[in-house]
């Protein structure tokens, strides 16, 4: 199907096609799934569809168990391939504002996320992205501190960061 054809589908038709994609995925990947002892859970199915204003589609799964299964890299890539690149799985992310970081990190903030995770004993990949809250080009000439936004993969990690704080380059 083309993107235009997909845009003409009703939420019920999208839901049906998404669930067919899950079934196709579990049949196509049966060998891979058995090797990893990670077979598709019985409750892994889509339950609701919402068409967004930007023409995107939000599809909700029946259970958290199904979501965790689908979020695995191998599984999500396989599901996306069922739709020939027209589907991208995006998990829910959580943004946390980190205050008063030294401006000397101006050009390095995005590059040091792995180091931040290691320094704070976080799971690898917990930080999806890091960016300055305000464009560095708009900083004052003598500005020493700035705020940043860390986008986290997990609600639990984001809440821990808020509750306990975070070390970034010793700050």
Q: How much is the pLDDT for 88?
A: 82
Question: Which structural domain range is residue 150 located in?
Answer: 94-164
Q: Above 90 in pLDDT, residue 127?
A: yes
Structural domain contains residue 7:
yes
pTM here is 0.62
Report the pLDDT averaged over residues 53-69.
87
Q: How much is the pLDDT for 91?
A: 74
Say whether both 9 and 63 belong to one domain: yes
Q: How much is the pLDDT for 37?
A: 45
Q: How much is the pLDDT for 33?
A: 53
Say whether both 75 and 24 belong to one domain: yes
Q: How much is the pLDDT for 54?
A: 82
Say whether both 44 and 21 belong to one domain: yes
pLDDT in tens, 74-113: 888 888 888 776 788 877 889 999 999 999 999 999 999 9
Say whether both 7 and 74 belong to one domain: yes
CB distance 48 to 60 below 8 Å: yes
CB distance 79 to 19 below 8 Å: no
Quote the number of domains for the chain: 2
Structural domain contains residue 139:
yes
Which of 94, 146, 150, 142 minimizes the C-alpha distance to 120?
150
pLDDT in tens, 1-56: 666 777 788 999 999 989 998 888 877 776 555 555 467 888 899 999 998 888 78
Strands 57-61 and 127-132, by their bridges, are unpaired
């Amino acid at each position: 199907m083309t993107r235009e054809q997909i845009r003409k589908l009703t939420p019920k038709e999208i839901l049906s096609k998404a669930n067919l994609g899950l079934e196709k995925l579990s049949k196509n990947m049966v060998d891979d799934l058995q090797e990893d002892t990670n077979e598709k859970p019985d409750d892994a199915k889509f339950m609701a569809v919402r068409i967004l204003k930007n023409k995107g589609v939000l599809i909700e799964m029946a259970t958290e168990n199904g979501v965790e299964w689908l979020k695995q890299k191998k599984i999500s890539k396989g599901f996306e391939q069922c739709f020939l690149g027209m589907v991208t799985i995006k998990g829910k992310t959580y943004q946390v504002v980190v205050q008063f970081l030294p401006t000397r990190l101006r050009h390095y903030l995005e590059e040091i996320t792995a180091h931040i995770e290691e320094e704070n004993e976080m799971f690898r990949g917990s930080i999806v992205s890091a960016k300055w809250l305000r464009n560095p080009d708009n900083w004052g000439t003598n500005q020493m501190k700035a705020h940043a936004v860390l986008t986290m993969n997990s609600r639990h990690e984001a809440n821990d960061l808020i509750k306990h704080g975070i070390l970034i380059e010793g700050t």
